[in-house]
Chains A and B, each alone.
Chain A
Amino acid sequence: MTEFIQQLLNALSLGAIYALIALGYTMVYGVLRFINFAHSDVFMVGAVTGCFLGKYLPAGTWWGGLSCLLGAMIVCALLGMLIERLAYRPLRASPRLNVLITAIGVSLLLEYTFQNEHVFGAAPRAFPQIFPEVVWQVRGLTLSSNQLLVIGVALVLMVALQFIVFRTRIGTAMRAVSLNPRAAQLVGINRDVVVAFTFALGSALAGAGGILYALNYQSVEPLMGVMPGLKAFVAAVLGGIGNIPGAALGGLLIGTIETFVGGSQLSTYKDAIAFALLILILVFRPAGLLGRRTIEKV
């Protein structure tokens, strides 16, 4: 039983990170109908920024940790807007496949830039302990402050996102663009502003995810975003792409399956089993768990 609860805790902290990244994929898909493959590298940039800021902030303090988190979110938000402005906006009128290929290009550009010795280097580096670290032992259970922090911060950010999307003007505009871009423009919504804001929001969440991931696993390297990014993308599809609560649910589900398979004798098949289950779910619910089947009107 103790082992089960411990694994559940591991699953929640991993799933929370996948959920944070998945939100970025789903939001961009919601407004632009394409997959931003550079998103997983924005996640990596978040962790790298934290690694860099950690050197200048006092380690192991709450305000130091929170300012590090905020710093990484701001850097990633700016990077996300920059990528959108330079790489995606000029292609908005072209076929979606072109934008998709550009996204892969941006992803590789970021990965290889950061592998350069003068930027960051390919070798993994230790991530500083930016938050105070405490470990509690409760009836054989080990609760680490890092894991609880990951779950807590992810939860707060998801609630904040829900508030922005459903309770603010810009959120309403986002939903309007997602529902019908042309009609949204007709009622006076500036689509460029909404798209830029969506990228900023999604990238900030990825940046926070990067910090939390690095905090949890303590090492940072330029290709660290590839696998979590892929799984988060899958989580977004699983939950129903374009659907925000769906992305969060998908992330938690993938994290849970992966952790429980990882703790069994089949540990090396954990990714294979997680993805096989995903295919099964999509066979029975093609639009994802919470996704609505849309009918193209002619």
Chain B
Amino acid sequence: MSFSLRTFARLALLPVISASLFAADVASIKVGEIASLTGKEAAFGQSSHKGTLLAVEELNAAGGVLGRPIDLVTEDNQSKAGESATAARKLISRDRVTALLGEVASSRSLEIAPIAQSSKIPMISPASTNPKVTAIGNYVFRVCFIDPYQGTVMAKFAKSELHLKKVAVLTSVSSAYSVGLAKYFKERFTADGGDIAIEQKYSEGDKDFRSQLTAIKAAGVEGVFVPGYYSEAALIAKQARELGLTVPLFGGDGWEAPQLLEIGGAAMEGNYYSTHYSPEDNAPAVQGFVKRFKARFGGETPDAMAALGYDSAVFLADGIKRAGVTDPAAVRDALAATKDFAGVTGHTEIDANRNATKAAVIVTIKDGRFKFFQSVAP
């Protein structure tokens, strides 16, 4: 008994000793993650974190990357402005991470990106769709599509699928994501001959949208584009229906959270949003991921943020493997050279601006559930 224990202890220590003797860095590969685990957009952070965690656990169970386990260091930014920058500085200077994963919200990714860029640490955002994020510099990547594409998809969808000619746009001015998405939607919709009858604005954290919605209703539109996050979108839908504004509402991937249905309830019926993936997709990669995720997190169905969180970690691991070392500059070069990466959210090409090119999915809400509506190729 004592013999086996001691041997075990020695064996377990061996890689640590050899690593500290023969390599400059420690045995594990440290990867920082910044997520909104609590606060207003907690649903995003919780989902993406679970996806990332599952990917890291699977990679470690399969022997790690370059034979070394990944050590995920997670920081919560409480969905607050400013906290992500603090977390990024801490992860880079104190934990000396090889790379950073995060954030979902574009405004918060924009806080992390300049710090990652100046410290020359690769950063991969799972779900920030605002184009400005990767424009910060050549160390910033993302595994999702960008808003010019998403805005175009929704404008085309509103025009040709919903046959809308006159719509309103209700934008959150304090979110980079919402402003960007609204801009690209408007450009495409008017270029296609549509009419933006009225544009109304709100700020993150607002709860009363009745005055904006009353003005929208008076403009007599056929649909309302709401490019915001789920916490406000759900309230907007509720108050719109209460005011007798019954036209379809549609938005982007910021709607994707169970709270949208929980708070929005019946008011969400018949609304649409574009996103990155649907758990109803029959592709084997998707179904395998859904099965493993459910087994790991007590039967919870993974949403798009979970799938992107998963993909961001696998994408990083793929880059480190191809780089052969954990040197941040080498990892960056390998990531930039990624071609045809097979993720859960589809085949991903990394373009010259370090953005992912991939298909979008349109989801509708029917009978109180998210339903796959159609897939739109890039």
Contact = CB atoms under 8 A, between A and B. Distances in A.
Interface of A: 2-3, 6-7, 10-11, 14, 115, 117, 121-126, 135, 137, 142, 144, 146, 213, 216-219, 221, 224, 227, 258-264, 267-268, 270
B259 A267 contact: no
Summarize B's interface: helix, strand, loop or mixed. Answer: helix
A2 to B, nearest CB: 7
Contacts of A11: 211
Contacts of A135: 242, 244
B208 to A, nearest CB: 6
Given A7-B211, A14-B208, A123 B173 contact: no
A6 B216 CA distance: 12
A84 B207 CA distance: 30
A40 B262 CA distance: 26
Interface stretch (B24-32, B129-137, B230-238, B365-373): B230-238
B322 interface: no
Interface in B211-230: 211-212, 214-215, 217-218
A96 B49 CA distance: 47
Contacts of B211: 7, 10-11, 258-263, 267, 270
Contacts of A125: 262-263
Nearest to B37: A122
B212 A263 contact: yes
B263 A218 contact: yes
Interface stretch (B198-206, B283-291, B354-362): B198-206
B68 interface: no
B215 A3 contact: yes
A136 to B, nearest CB: 10
B40 A3 contact: no
B43 interface: yes
A171 to B, nearest CB: 33
Contact of B235 (A115, A142, A218, A270): A218
Contacts of B40: 122-124, 221
Given A6-B243, A123-B42, A217-B207, A263 B238 contact: no
19 contacts: A3-B217, A7-B211, A10-B214, A11-B211, A14-B208, A123-B43, A124-B231, A126-B263, A135-B244, A142-B243, A144-B242, A144-B243, A213-B207, A219-B235, A261-B211, A262-B208, A263-B212, A267-B200, A268-B203
Given A123-B39, A213-B207, A267-B200, 6 more contacts: A3-B218, A14-B210, A122-B42, A142-B244, A219-B235, A267-B202
A232 to B, nearest CB: 14
Contacts of B263: 124-126, 218-219
A227 B205 contact: yes
A129 B217 CA distance: 24
Contacts of B215: 3, 263-264
B206 to A, nearest CB: 9
Nearest to B173: A268
A263 B231 contact: no
Across the A-B interface, the 10 shortest Cβ-Cβ residue pairs: A262-B211, A263-B211, A142-B244, A3-B218, A217-B207, A10-B210, A123-B42, A126-B263, A122-B38, A263-B215
B265 interface: yes
B78 A122 contact: yes
Contacts of A121: 38, 42
Contacts of A259: 208, 210-211
Contacts of A123: 38-40, 42-43, 259
Contact of B238 (A6, A7, A218): A218
A224 B207 CA distance: 9
Interface of B: 38-40, 42-43, 78-79, 173, 200-203, 205, 207-208, 210-212, 214-215, 217-218, 231, 234-235, 238-239, 242-244, 259, 262-263, 265
Nearest to A10: B210
B38 A217 contact: no
A243 B307 CA distance: 57
A270 B211 CA distance: 11
Nearest to B241: A135
A91 B234 CA distance: 44
Contacts of B205: 227
B242 A146 contact: yes
B42 A267 contact: no
Contact of B214 (A124, A217, A221, A263): A263
A159 B215 CA distance: 33
B208 A124 contact: no
A268 B205 CA distance: 12
Question: Which of A14, A213, A218, A260 has the most chain B CB atoms inside 10 A of its CB?
Answer: A218
B243 A2 contact: no
A124 B243 contact: no
A3 B212 CA distance: 11
Contacts of A14: 208, 210
Contacts of A3: 214-215, 217-218
Contact of A2 (B38, B43, B218): B218
Contacts of B173: 268
A81 B239 CA distance: 35
A15 to B, nearest CB: 11
Contacts of A126: 259, 262-263, 265
Nearest to B38: A122
A229 B103 CA distance: 31
A29 to B, nearest CB: 26
A118 to B, nearest CB: 12
Contacts of A6: 214, 217, 243
